[in-house]
């Protein structure tokens, strides 16, 4: 029988890592839902966000300022990549765009190595305060990470459902040809979506940096889990991505407490089980078409 304090710690840890997965996966999900591209370069913006957070916090002593700068830099770089690369290959086959984005990721990792080197870098936790929950000391920073991810989810939901641009993006996820027929410039929607995705990936890196050692390979290391989150939740669904991220986070966290190899194996088993029951994912739409 698992100790209660260990269980509570595991659940909070799972929610916090699930929050990071959500911030990374939501961009990838929206990019596929609207543009039909598998944007593996989102994992590069995650790494950039972490490294910018490290550099700024080293100079200023403020991790929060670093995370904000990481978001801005990741958003600017994602805008440049979309304008100079993806804009030219949107019409190509999905496998081509996936290979191109993977090339961008690998090239970006090389640039990171040339700037910051190969040695993993630590980022100080911005606060060491802990709060007592049912007799268990829980780091406040992890609770803040969870709260930020929920606020991001709320913000994206309001954007997609309460703004004209957001509604156009949502309609494009269902049928981009219909949106084009209404005279809407879909490539402008592509750019907006891509910048949002890159910025959130940068935020994920900035928030994750104090919880891990910042490493050039960090984006490649989380790639399988981000893919699982997107597939389980359903492509293009922000609700599905959030639920899936928390589910995968809990499986990784609690699985490692029960039996360490489960942290790697169990998420894949959950993904296969869900796909057997519902091939479109938890909240994937059957209407998705290009």
| Distance (Å, whole) CA 288 – CA 284 | 8
| Distance (Å, whole) CA 179 – CA 161 | 16
Rounded to the nearest 5°, which phi and psi values hold at 278?
-140, 95
Ordered by start, the domain boundaries in the chain are: 18-123+132-220
Instruction: Report pTM.
Output: 0.91
Residue 289: what pLDDT? 45
Confidence of residue 116 (pLDDT cuts 50, 70, 90): very high
Q: In this predicted model, what pLDDT tens digit does every residue of 135-181 receive, in sequence order?
A: 788 889 999 999 999 999 999 999 888 888 888 877 776 666 677 66
CA proximity to 243, closest of 121, 149, 132: 149
The DSSP result for 115-177, as a single string, is HH-SS-EE---S---EEEETTEEEEHHHHHHHHHHHHHHHHHHHHHHHSHHHHHHHHHHHBHH
C-alpha distance from residue 96 to each of 34, 86, 108 (Å): 17, 11, 18
Residue 173: what pLDDT? 67
| Distance (Å, whole) CA 182 – CA 171 | 11
Kindly give, in sequence order, each residue whose CB lies less than 8 Å from that of residue 83, ignoring residues fewer than 6 positions away.
191
Residue 3: what pLDDT? 73
Centroid of chain to Cα 265: 21
Residue 38: what pLDDT? 86
Confidence of residue 288 (pLDDT cuts 50, 70, 90): very low
């Amino acid at each position: 029988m698992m100790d209660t304090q260990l269980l509570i710690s595991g659940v909070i840890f799972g929610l916090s890592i699930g929050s990071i997965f959500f911030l990374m996966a939501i961009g990838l999900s929206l990019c596929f839902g609207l543009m039909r591209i598998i944007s593996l370069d989102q994992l590069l913006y995650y790494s950039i966000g972490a490294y910018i957070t490290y550099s700024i916090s080293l100079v200023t002593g403020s991790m929060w300022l670093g995370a904000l700068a990481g978001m801005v830099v990741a958003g600017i770089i994602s805008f440049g990549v979309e304008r100079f690369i993806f804009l030219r290959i949107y019409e190509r086959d999905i496998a081509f765009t996936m290979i191109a984005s993977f090339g961008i990721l690998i090239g970006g990792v090389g640039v990171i190595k040339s700037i910051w080197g190969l040695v993993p870098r630590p980022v100080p936790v911005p606060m060491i305060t802990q709060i007592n929950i049912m007799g268990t000391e829980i780091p406040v920073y992890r609770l803040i990470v969870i709260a930020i991810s929920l606020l991001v989810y709320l913000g994206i939901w309001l954007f997609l459902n309460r703004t004209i641009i957001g509604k156009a993006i949502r309609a494009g996820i269902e049928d981009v040809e219909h949106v084009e027929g209404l005279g809407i410039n879909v490539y402008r929607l592509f750019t907006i979506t891509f910048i949002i995705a890159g910025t959130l990936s940068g935020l994920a890196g900035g928030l994750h940096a104090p919880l891990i050692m910042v490493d050039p390979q960090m984006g490649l290391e989380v790639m399988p889990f981000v893919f699982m989150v997107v597939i389980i939740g359903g492509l293009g669904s922000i609700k599905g991505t959030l639920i899936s991220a928390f589910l995968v986070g809990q499986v990784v966290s609690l699985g490692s407490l029960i039996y360490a190899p489960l942290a790697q194996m169990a998420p894949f088993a959950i993904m296969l089980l869900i796909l057997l029951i519902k091939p479109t994912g938890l909240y994937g739409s059957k209407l998705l078409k290009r």
